[in-house]
Structures are given as structure tokens and as C-alpha cells.
Amino acid sequence: MDKKNTILGIICIAAGIGFMYKQTNDLKNQQLQQQQQEAAALERARVEAPVVDSSATNAGAAAGDDILDLLTQPQEVAAVVVAQPTRAAAEQVVTLSNDFIEVDFTTLGGAIRTVEFLQTKTGQRDDYIFNIDGRLPALSLSLADRDGGMQEFDKPYTIEQQSADSITFVFNSGDGLALRRTYSLAQDRSEQDPYIIRHSTTFNNQAAIPQALSTIYLNLGTSRPITEKQLPSFLNVGYFDGEDAEFIAINKLTGGKGFLGIGASAPVEQLEQSVRFEWASVKNQFFAAVLSSETMGRDLFIYSVEASEAEDGTRGRPGISGSVGYDLGTVPAGSAKTLDFDFYVGPKEFKRLQALGNQQDEVMQFGFLSFISKLLLSFMYAIHAVVPSWGWSIVIMTICIKTLFWPLSAKASRSQKRMAKIQGPMAELKEKYKDNPQKLQQETLKVFKEHQVNPVAGCLPMLVQMPIFLGLFYMLRSASELRHESFLWVSDLSMPDTLTYIAGFPVNILPLIMGLTMFFQMRMMPVSPTADPAQQKIFKFLPFIFLVFLYNFSSGLVLYWTVQNLLTILQQKIINNSPDEELKPVVAAKAATSTGKGGSPSTKPRKKNK
């Protein structure tokens, strides 16, 4: 059994190291492949693009004809691809803000150009800007044509009304259809969440006959990676259908070679999801944009967005965007149809998203152990209400978790200590039955039973705490609460604690401390008599494996594991210094109690064999 465990352990460690190496290599290949695709696309656009007249002359009249043409005339659109809007000279940008966000609106399409975040722990604007270099303005309208494609409607709107916290855009076609688009921000936190942008689009049929409008699409905006090292799984578009939330990561678009060829996929320009949903989102590791409405949405288009070219000619990693559809049906003559939305654009803070209702906290993407992650995060919120430091909140939470499992861990450590004392009898058994593995296993189990030793007890605390660790892993890796939160020398608990670089390699202190504490923890553990030398060598490599695995993870997660190691060392030291228990075989104890009254052993006459 130990040899099987040894082989399994070697395979797991090799697979883990191989996976981490493969993941890094694939990321580089993916970036190179994306850059090549973008360069080819730019070259095609340069050759094939028609000459565009940027003059705004007669723009309103032309726009009025275009919108009904899209709804009533067949179009020759090759594929379901959203066109890049042309920034006409007539564009006007208007800014609205509150204490938390600053929103730039554009008259082209009457939509959101960018959103900046004003509330950070550093007292400055956040570096991340939502929809920067976006493919389309957020909440811009696209109309479905008869071929099943989408055509962007980026005509210039007129500002009808503007105040400190609201703005209304209008567009009148020449064929009886008028559009009114209104946006409002909350100035008072008691009214609504300050990160919510309230929006409504009204389609007013001023014609004398009913108009059957096709599906209208709204763009969710573009989300880009927080850092160049951000995992692709964080950058995704998702939706909630009333029961479950699903998320589609950007690597579904960019493709990849998979792991050893398994799961390999070719890059695609766009993905389509034929679904019904209550809300849809686009997000990265720490920020999300969630569009919700009382009207059920249908159909979801997802596409990657190339990064702008830097001064040195290089491009960063692509962003992700999506468009969601809503059926308008038929608008009677002289009537109007309005779609109302709440558009949350802000940090991925669990309590804030939970307060929005309709399970919008699923945007946190806590995984299959979400109930544990939510419980731990709520507990950490309670601690933070008393101790206003997220770093100390993690430390106190770790102490509480360790205290909760202390009796179980102590019992397991004592069991391991008892096992270390039977190394002598176990060595004799191994020598005696070295040529008979089956007999050796039987006698080993017999010795365990006689001395009341459980070889599995040492693994039990780790198995019990593994769901806690995984829950914390999913919770801390994307909790915006830790963003820009400092602790001791750590400037940002949501990022690695990089102090300097040596030959381009980041020097992260906290993972090194974590690896060192885990090394001492492993050395203090009693050696099991059933563990062969190869298995012991594998356990010696565990600190190195954890060091490599956690080296570039958030400091908050590494802080938890480091404090956990320190508390385990303290516990093991207390147990090792406690008085040793004298091991008495159970069979001897039973023999002592089997004596008759008066202290003489009870005897029964034996039957003689005939």
C-alpha cells in the first residue's frame, strides 16, 4: 500500500510541476499567437477598409434612414460580427460623477465611453478604467439584421436634458421612430448603490402604423486584465438564468494547446450562447460590470478585444466583451416600449454584490465550495468590523479556525507520536516477513490494533481542513476588499508582496517565509514506521511544491497559510514536550483482566482428544 501511495505521490508532484510549467509556456504562446492574429487583422483592415468621410454634414438625416433600413430591409452581412464604430467629428463627451465613479458619456450611440473608479485606499483614482480602448461604448445599441448578424448603430444623438446626476439622449429618425436614452447616478448612498448606473431606453413609434422591431442588443463594455500576469479564467463573460450562473473565459476565444494535447482548441472570433438570462456580466479579477433587468434577456455574443498598440509597438493581452439581446416585439402606432436596466460597474465586493439581490454575488465565482467561501468571508467581515485591518482580520480568522480544529489536530499528532514508538516492533516485522508482503500487512495491522494506533489519524486533520483551504483560496484570490490593503511590509494583499527584482525575477518575501515555516513543520512531525524512505523524501519536497505553487498568488492567501504553519509548529512543539504515554498492548491488558476471583487465573478443563 505504501509503494502505491509513493508512486501516486510522485505522479501527482510531477503532474503539478508539469502543469505549472505548461501553463506558463502556454500563456506565452497564447500572447504571441494573439499578437500575430491582431497584426494580420490590422493588415486586412488596412487593405480592405473603405475610405470613410468623417464629415458630420446631413448625419441626422442619414441616420434616420439607416435605423429603419436595418429593421425592415435585408442586409448583406457576412457573419455575426460587431463592427467597430467610427469616431466622427460630431462626437461630444459629457461627464457625470459621484464620490465613487466618474462616467464619460458619448453622443455617438448615446452610450457610456468609460468608467473610472475614485474610491481607493490610496486616496487616488484606481489605475483600472472600465471600457478603456473598448470595442464599443458600453450599453451601445446594435440591431439584428435578417441574416442573423448584428449591425452597430452608432449614430450621433442629441442631448435633451442634463443635470448633475442624469443625462438624456434622443434620436429621431425620419420615418417615425424616436429613441430616448436616459442615465442617472446616485448621489446619496441611501438611494441606491453608488456604483449602479440606472438606464432606460424608450422606442417611441410616432408613425401611423405598427412597427415590428427585431431583437435589440446592448454591449456590456470591455473588461481588460488588471495585470499582465492575471489568469485567463478571471477574464470572462457570464450570465444567470434564474437557477445557475455560467461564465465563459477568454481562453475559449483565444484557444490553446491544452494539457499534453488534451482540451486543445483553435481561436475563434466570436462565441454565441443561445440562452435566457436575468443578468449578464463582464469582469476581470477585481472589477465587474453587471447588467440586470426585469425583462428576460436572450442570446449572448462574446468576443475578444485587442489591446491598443504601445509606443514600442507591442500590444498587451486582449480584453473581453459581449453583447446581450432583448426582444422588442411590435410597437403599436402612437405607442412606446421601454427597457429599464440597472448597470453595476464596480469592485467585486461580496457584501455589495449580495445586497443587489438576484444572486448577483455569483459574480464572485467562488467555485463548488461557494458556501464555505461565503461563510468565511462573512466571518472575516465581522472581524473587520472590530479590527479595521484586512491583514489582521486574516490572522485572527486563521487563529479561530486553528483553535476550532485544535482538538482534532492534537489527537492526530498524539497518534503519530504513538506510531513513532512502535518503530522497533515494526522493524522486526519487516525483517521477519520481508519475503511475504501479505503476511507483513496482516501482522502490521495486528500491531496497530494491539497498541490502539490509527495510521490514518495523521491525515484526518489535513483532509478536514482542505475544504477550508480551498474555500479561502477561491475567496481571497478575487476579493476586491483586499485590493490596495497594506499589512506590515505588504503594500497590497491582493497581489504578491514583491519587494524587488533580481535579473527580472520577482523577490516575494511572504512565500519564502511560508516555505520555511512549512519545512520546519514537516521536520517536527513524527516519522511513521510504515513510511518507506522514498515516501519520506516526497514529503520533504512538499514545502518546495507549495512554495512554487503559491509564489505568485495573492499575499492574503499566503498570509493565511503562513500563520497556519506557525500555529501548527506551536501545537506540535507543545505535544512533543508533553509527557509520553506508556504503550501497553491491548492483549496484555485483556490478559490481566481475565483472572478469576482471588487473583488466580480462571481455568477451564480442556477436552482431551480421543
Give the per-residue SS3 of 179-226.
EEEEEEECCCCCCCCCCEEEEEEEEEECCCCCEEECCEEEEEEEECCC
Residue tagged 450611440 (cell numbers) = 109
pLDDT for the residue 574: 82
**Dist. CA 438–CA 21, nearest whole Å:** 40
Q: What is the DSSP letter of 455?
A: T
Give CA angle at 166 (283, 67), nearest 5°: 75
Q: Which residues of the chain have pLDDT under 50?
A: 1-17, 19-86, 88-89, 586-605, 607-610
Q: Which amino acid is at 308?
A: S
Residue tagged 413609434 (cell numbers) = 205
pLDDT for the residue 602: 46
- For 341, the enclosing helix (H) or strand (E) is strand 336-347
In contact, 487 and 389? CB cutoff 8 Å: yes
pLDDT for the residue 312: 53
Give CA angle at 229 (224, 231), nearest 5°: 70
How many Å separate Cα 602 from the centre of its chain?
70
Distance from the first to the final alpha carbon of the chain: 46
Q: Which amino acid is at 540?
A: K
Residue tagged 468621410 (cell numbers) = 53
Q: What phi and psi values does residue 407 have, to the nearest 5 degrees?
A: -60, -40
In contact, 537 and 513? CB cutoff 8 Å: no
Total-model pTM: 0.73
Beta strand spans in 210-286 (E): 211-213, 216-223, 236-240, 245-249, 270-283
Contacts (Cβ under 8 Å, ≥6 apart) of 473: 557
The DSSP secondary structure of 82-150, one letter per residue, reads PPPPP--TT--EEEEE-SSEEEEEETBTTEEEEEEE---TTSS--S-EETTT-SS-BT-EEEE-TTS-E
pLDDT for the residue 94: 92
